[in-house]
Amino acid sequence: MCTRQRDFQYNNNMTNRADLIVGIQWGDEGKGKIVDRLAQEYDMVCRSQGGHNAGHTIWVDGVKYALHLVPSGVLNPKAINVVGNGVVLSPESIINEMKQFENLEGRLFISDKAHLNLSYHALIDQAKERLKGDKAIGTTGKGIGPAYADKINRTGFRVGELLDPAKLTASILEYFEQNRSLFDIYDISTPNEAELLVELEGYSSKLAPFITDTTQLVWRAIDDGKKILLEGAQGTLLDIDHGTYPYVTSSATVSAGACTGLGINPKDIGKVIGIVKAYCTRVGNGPFPSEDSGEDGKRLGEQGHEFGTTTGRARRCGWFDAVATRHACRLNGVDELALMKLDVLDGFDEVKLCVAYEYNGKQIDYMPSNLDEVIPVYKIFKGWNNSVGIREFDKLPADAQAFVKTIQEISNTKVGIISTSPERDDTIIL
């Protein structure tokens, strides 16, 4: 009854909405920096999908924070941080991450409906990758795929079950017994009952104060007029439906995923900000049309410090892909783009921008389902210097300004934010 009344009130007041940050490329676009920068103005920051495959880096006054499951609003002492039901949660990973911060009680909430990502999920993930050999996806090895597979298979366990560790121990052992032949393929032994109980009791005691019904929490915040920011993980081209399948992650990384992953409805979504790097990177395997495997790609990696936050792997590098960006903007309903790492392009004689694809002998301006077969068509820009740390658009080198304007035109989306260093304040708001 109470919930219905709140819904009714909300539907009569369409002004309060949650703004959304979404990755437009293959992840690692700089979502962490923008969420942290914007979180200073928000009351609540929510994660809705993914798990500790995410690595969101934030630099504040020379201090680096690497976040995987804790939302990037944590550095704003006034913001409430929510881990939604769509996340797959490794208790071990979040407990380790939480140690960096003090007084999280009352500032961090974890959905009781989020699914548990336990150590056997990572073992399955790694074993499957080994068995695939040269067809491996190049996952982070964190158990993301197997944890989501268990959820969809209706054989997963939820965060709320941690509150009764003895019952959860029995359920997990029963699951192992019923699936023994599957675990045998991957050479994974059944956990020892006493050890499993101790492990789960440890997670339970540390996480119990944070576990709650986050759907109600978020609805209340919306009804109370709080400002809410939704923090996407991974990127559009890694989306389970719309990405470069099968070289994708196992969640809905596009803006629509934020609704199911938090229990909000499409009308609750306000502004959508798409995050793009001024060039492209990809970790793991799969098609990447504008990849540069030569000296320029190597230089982008070095200047951009392109090593994975989660796995330390070198990221593959290439040029900005405006075709994929336009496609992703449409998919996500992007209102404006945040163009990150413009400074990394400093010092190149020429900067390339992929403006079309060649596909089956024709030039096309859309993204086909199979990116394997496209060849990039580039527009070449004269390079520039000294964009690092610039905080006003007019002070950017003229060639960098022209590059930004072309991205805006071809993507058919306004560039509303430009980032010129990892630091929170080296940001141009247009």
Give the interface with ligand IMO as residue ranges (CB under 6 A): 23, 26-28, 53-56, 137-140, 142, 144-145, 233-235, 238, 249-250, 283-284, 309
Q: Which of 57, 90, 117, 387 is close enough to bind ligand GDP by CB under 6 A? A: 57
Distance CA 286, CA 346 (A): 28
> 149 to each of 146, 242, 293, 420, how far by Cα in Å?
5, 18, 34, 39
Check: CB of residue 353 under 8 Å from CB of residue 378: yes
Distance CA 288, CA 277 (A): 15
Q: Is 31 in the site for ligand GDP (CB under 6 A)?
A: yes
Pairing status of strand 44-47 against strand 279-282: unpaired
Q: Which of 28, 36, 292, 426 is catalytic?
A: 28
Q: Which of 25, 26, 32, 162 is close enough to bind ligand GDP by CB under 6 A? A: 32
End-to-end CA distance of the chain: 44
To which residue do tokens 């990973």 refer?
93
Q: Is 300 in the site for ligand GDP (CB under 6 A)?
A: no
Closer CB to ligand GDP, 57 or 236, in the complex = 57
Question: Is residue 68 among the annotated active site residues?
Answer: no
Task: Supply the DSSP symbol for 141.
Answer: S
Distance CA 310, CA 302 (A): 18
Question: Is residue 56 among the annotated active site residues?
Answer: yes
Q: Which of 110, 124, 343, 384 is close enough to bind ligand GDP by CB under 6 A? A: 343
Closer CB to ligand GDP, 207 or 415, in the complex = 415
Check: CB of residue 119 under 8 Å from CB of residue 101: no
The entry of ligand IMO, ligand GDP, Mg ion, none that residue 421 binds, CB within 5 to 8 Å by partner kind: ligand GDP
The entry of Mg ion, ligand GDP, ligand IMO, none that residue 144 binds, CB within 5 to 8 Å by partner kind: ligand IMO
Distance CA 48, CA 232 (A): 7
Check: CB of residue 416 under 8 Å from CB of residue 273: yes
Q: What size, in residues, is the chain?
A: 430
CB of 270 to ligand GDP, least distance (A): 21
Q: Is 143 in the site for ligand GDP (CB under 6 A)?
A: no
Q: Is 81 in the site for ligand GDP (CB under 6 A)?
A: no
Q: Is 29 in the site for Mg ion (CB under 5 A)?
A: no
Alpha helices by DSSP H, listed for 157-254, are 165-178, 180-185, 193-207, 214-223
Check: CB of residue 13 under 8 Å from CB of residue 225: no
Is residue 110 classed as helix, strand or coil in its secondary structure?
strand
The entry of ligand IMO, ligand GDP, Mg ion, none that residue 81 binds, CB within 5 to 8 Å by partner kind: none
Q: Which of 30, 55, 165, 243 is close enough to bind Mg ion by CB under 5 A? A: 55
Q: Which x/- pattern over 411-430 shows residues binding ligand GDP (rule: CB under 6 A)?
A: --------xxxx--------
Site for ligand GDP in 301-340 (CB under 6 A): 309, 340
CB of 22 to Mg ion, least distance (A): 14
Check: CB of residue 397 under 8 Å from CB of residue 9: no
Q: Which of 28, 150, 239, 296 is close enough to bind Mg ion by CB under 5 A? A: 28
Binding site for Mg ion (CB under 5 A): 28, 55, 309
Binding site for ligand GDP (CB under 6 A): 23, 27-33, 55-57, 59, 309, 340-341, 343-344, 419-422
State the catalytic residues.
28, 56
